[in-house]
Amino acid sequence: MSNNNQKDRLYAQPINGLGQFAFDANVARVFPDMISRSVPGYAAVTEMIGVLAGKYAQANSRCYDLGCSLGAVTQILLERIEQPHCHIIGVDNSPAMVERCCELLNRTPHAHTAEIICADVRDIHIERASLVVMNFTLQFIEPDARLDVLRAIYQGLLPGGAFVLSEKIQFQDTEQQQDFSELHVEFKRSHGYSELEISQKRAALENVLIAEPVEQHIQRLRDAGFSRVYLWFQCLNFVSFLAIK
Ligand code: GEK
């Protein structure tokens, strides 16, 4: 049985011909450690998604975790949703992530089960949803395709349904961008990442993770149809929005 909590050392040694970051089996192996040491506020956001699920999940509906990775949010939805006949669906387009997600879900007994689908979020049909979560996933989809994703989510939500969107952001103000990027590097250092690990990871993520300003996210959520759009969380350059249909 593979270890649940392997330490992320993927960028600890100099890598010749450093390629683009990909959600492969190596990443899947260390993912919980990687995300908790890289995303300030990740634990707080995922825990709060459980609270939001308690309020917005409706009986006889579907709840989606889009870009579920190893199912951290899916697990929280399974624990927190008590409404009857609420079908929980996790979607991720990385086969390695999906395989590991299913292993981990099978290890944790829950009263309900979740369906995990290996697919691109752009290819799935969202319907009868009371809650849709995209926890740090839209940022990996090319910007031109993002509005269509949000429109499909809006169309698939029931009245009163909620969409939770968490993202790394870019600041329009260059000074704030510089200050918060430095603070993010400091956060990574404080979690034991070396300068080499930080710089190689940053280079690998270039053009893979495309962060946008808060204002652009809010405008896009409105363009997709949402009229109630709230920024409910921010820690440095990581935020989460709640949009209600
Ligand atoms: C968590 N939500 O632990 N379709 C489906 N999945 C995708 C796509 C796509 N087009 N693009 C990327 N992914 C999780 C963390 S991680 C965030 C999400 C991070 C998947 C990708 O395979 C990866 O598993 C996930 O989105 C992003 O709360 O690593 O910063």
pLDDT in tens, 30-81: 999 999 999 999 999 999 999 999 999 999 999 999 999 999 999 999 999 9
- Report residue 113's pLDDT band, with 50, 70 and 90 as the boundaries: confident
Q: How far is the CA of 69 from the centre of ligand 1 (A)?
A: 5
Which of 98 and 200 is assigned the larger pLDDT? 98
pTM of the model: 0.97
Q: Is 46 in the pocket of ligand 1 (CB under 6 A)?
A: yes
Take atom 13 of ligand 1 and give the residue whose Cα is closest: 67
58 in ligand 1 pocket by Cβ < 6 Å? Answer: no
The neighbouring-strand residues paired with 134 are 165
Report residue 182 CA to chain centroid gap: 22
Residue-wise pLDDT for 142-161, tens only, equals: 999 999 999 999 999 999 99
Determine whether the shortest distance from the Cβ of 104 to ligand 1 is under 6 A. no
Does any ligand 1 atom lie closer than 6 A to the CB of residue 134? no
**Encoding tokens for residue 119?**
């697919």
Give the nearest ligand 1 atom to 39 CA: 30
pLDDT at residue 228, rounded to an integer: 97
The protein residue whose alpha carbon is closest to atom 19 in ligand 1 is 136
